[in-house]
Amino acid sequence: MTLYTPKTDLQNLLFLDRDGTLIKEKNYLSDPNQVELENGVIEGLSLLKNNGWQFIIITNQSGIGRGYFSQEQFWTVQEKLYALLKKSEISILDCFFCPHTPEDNCSCRKPKPQMVLDALNKYPVPLSRCVFIGDKEADILCANNAGITGIHVQTGHGKTLNIPQATYAAPHFLDAALWILR
């Protein structure tokens, strides 16, 4: 779902995991009233936006495939996230999600890179101008499989993980944003 018309001269794309990265991890989140931003997300996204970055969410949502919640409930949670970001004049360019369970062995579920590749097909940007931030190993492996830089943010599930495949491990989202701009 595209939320605004992107500039035709996209320069930098930041791919973002949702749960545990942008918003606090709540297993199988389906209630928009439980959406809570992670610390440093507004500051980090604002800084990146002001430096020419645009944002795409790449998220596995197996709760849909497991029957825990519907696609409509997923989009209701997304709308709440978008509303929270909009208060700080931050927009999400697009959102790609996988509704399948791991057992489905689909082509879109992270760590497979299909969602990132689909996004790059829709919004062509050189791989060297793309970064992926996520809290799980699947996020970092997805970035690696797509040929882009992967940053492990140590929030959500990432608090207890060591992901050696990550280019950088950031204690929080703002630190990840500052590293990108270095």
Whichever domain contains 113, its CATH number is: 3.40.50.1000
Residue 43 lies in a domain: yes
So which residues are the catalytic ones?
17, 19
Phi, psi angles (nearest 5°) of residue 108:
-100, -20
- Mean per-residue pLDDT over the chain, rounded: 95
Which residue segment(s) compose the domain that 161 sits in? 12-181
Residue 1 lies in a domain: no
Residue 4 lies in a domain: no
pLDDT band of 123, cuts 50, 70, 90: very high
Let me know: does 134 contact 153? Beta carbons within 8 Å: yes
Residue 151 lies in a domain: yes
> pTM value?
0.93
Q: Name residue, tokens 């990550």.
A: 166
Residue 158 lies in a domain: yes
Domain count, the chain: 1
Phi, psi angles (nearest 5°) of residue 158:
-70, -10
For residue 1, the model assigns a pLDDT of 43
Residue 114 lies in a domain: yes
Integer Cα distance of 49 and 31 in angstroms: 28
pLDDT tens for each residue of 37-84 = 999 999 999 999 999 999 999 999 999 999 999 999 999 999 999 999
